Amino acid sequence: MRLSIVAPCFNEESVIESFDAHVRSALDALPVDYEICYVDDGSSDNTLALLRTLAEKHPGRIRYTSLSRNFGKEAAILAGLGEATGDAVVLMDADLQHPPGLIARMLDLHSLGHDQVVARRDRSGETRLRKALSKSYYRLVNHWVDVELADGVGDFRLLSRRAVDALLSLPEQNRFSKGLFSWIGFDTVTFDYANVAREAGQTKWRFGALVNYGVDGLISFNNRPLRLALHLGLLLTALATLYAVWIVASALVLGVDTPGYATLLATVVGMGGAQMVMLGLIGEYIGRIYYETKRRPHFLVKEHSSVKEHSSVEEHSLVKEHIRAAEGSRATERDRELGGAGLR
Ligand code: UDP
Ligand code: MG
């Protein structure tokens, strides 16, 4: 059995070596053949140089892919998954927040036939506000979203080869991986571990990024918010109609009376606000459609520890399609040049 570790790294110069040492000593103790696939997500510090040295020191064991700029963790994970050759893949953060000691447990559970083995962290060491916010967020999301999202469940997990292939076959640009993991299904088992603080370096999450991530979670997996907007619109229209009937009736019965500036203004402003919100919501979906239709690759590779000849970008789904399309058009051009000789 061959195991691949995939670790995205963005400015992790302060921990990467210690991560590597920890992971390798954990893996050396296990009865598996392994490789570690690092993905440098456009780091601006010394991370790439360190990865090069590691790969030179342990050829065959350690590989790296360096992306042309910072594409974000989701893209880096995708790059790593494409690179991995193992029968199973373990996704890990490079900051040692995912204890390498748990890999043995994951392998045990995997050998029982589970395709996804998920390590769920508790929230020890987090502020109470953060805990409460996360908890209510997950309650809200699970009410709205079609796939099940669990609190504390992140990217630290083992995926079987077929689960990895399933993930790689999903072409979407906006990759909310928590949702994707849940969407692909397969036999999944979860176990808990105590949250660990980052060993060194800094988290890349700002509060704003977390909020955006939350919105992604809500919107990426369903169109229920659009349905909600529709329902709200219908409700407001009904109320407005009733109010109009009442106004007209009272004008007929009691005669026209002009006061009502305050209610009028409140209604106009309120309706305006509601419309803006709904337009914004629709815009959010259209924006996503816009990005999806561009069909750009999820990441670009700058550099490889060349064990495999060509980049995994070329091997997967969309990119494969692009290449086929390009080859197709080349073929027809050639045919034209040959004066239709291709027909024969
Ligand atoms: N990471 C990445 N690209 C990014 C941001 C983060 O590859 O744009 C990596 C980072 O190097 C780390 C992992 O993703 O290995 C988790 O990041 P971080 O520790 O900042 O997130 P947190 O653990 O605070 O959720
Ligand atoms: Mg971290």
Quick one: what percent of the chain has pLDDT higher than 70? 87
User: Among the listed ranges 13-17, 161-165, 323-327, which one has the minimum average pLDDT value?
Assistant: 323-327
Judged by its nearest atom, the ligand closest to the C-alpha of residue 38 is 1
* pLDDT value for 3: 93
pTM for this structure?
Answer: 0.71
Pocket test for ligand 1, best of 14, 51, 73, 156 (most atoms within 8 A of CB): 73
Give the whole-angstrom CA distance, residue 140 versus residue 156: 23
* pLDDT value for 97: 85
Separation of 129 CA from ligand 1 center, angstroms? Answer: 22
CA distances (Å), origin 35, targets 195, 309, 319:
26, 17, 25
Ligand 1 atom at minimum distance from 8 CA? 7
Predicted confidence (pLDDT) at residue 26 exceeds the cutoff of 80: yes
Is the separation of the CB atoms in 34 and 27 below 8 Å? Answer: yes
Residues 6+ apart with CB under 8 A from 79: 39, 65, 67, 71, 298, 299, 301, 312, 313
* pLDDT value for 34: 92
What confidence category does residue 317 fall into, taking pLDDT thresholds of 50, 70 and 90? low
Tens-place pLDDT, residues 128-167 = 888 888 888 888 777 777 777 777 777 889 999 999 999 9
Residues whose beta carbons lie less than 5 angstroms from ion ligand 2: 93, 95, 97, 198
* pLDDT value for 39: 95
Ligand 1 atom at minimum distance from 39 CA? 7
What confidence category does residue 199 fall into, taking pLDDT thresholds of 50, 70 and 90? low
State mean pLDDT over 191-206: 74
User: Among the listed ranges 3-7, 188-192, 219-223, 299-303, which one has the minimum average pLDDT value?
Assistant: 219-223
* pLDDT value for 106: 92
* pLDDT value for 333: 47
Ligand 1 atom at minimum distance from 93 CA? 15
User: Among the listed ranges 11-25, 89-103, 157-171, 323-337, which one has the minimum average pLDDT value?
Assistant: 323-337
* pLDDT value for 316: 52
* pLDDT value for 307: 52
Ligand 1 atom at minimum distance from 76 CA? 7
Which residues have any ligand 1 atom within 6 Å of their CB? 8-10, 12, 41, 70, 72-73, 76, 93-95, 97, 198, 203-205
Write out the DSSP string of 92-157. Answer: --TTS-S-GGGHHHHHHHHHTT-SEEEEEE--TTS-HHHHHHHHHHHHHHHHH-SS---TTEEEEE
Predicted confidence (pLDDT) at residue 328 exceeds the cutoff of 60: no
The two structure tokens encoding residue 122 = 């508790």
Tens-place pLDDT, residues 73-105 = 889 999 999 999 999 999 999 988 888 989 999
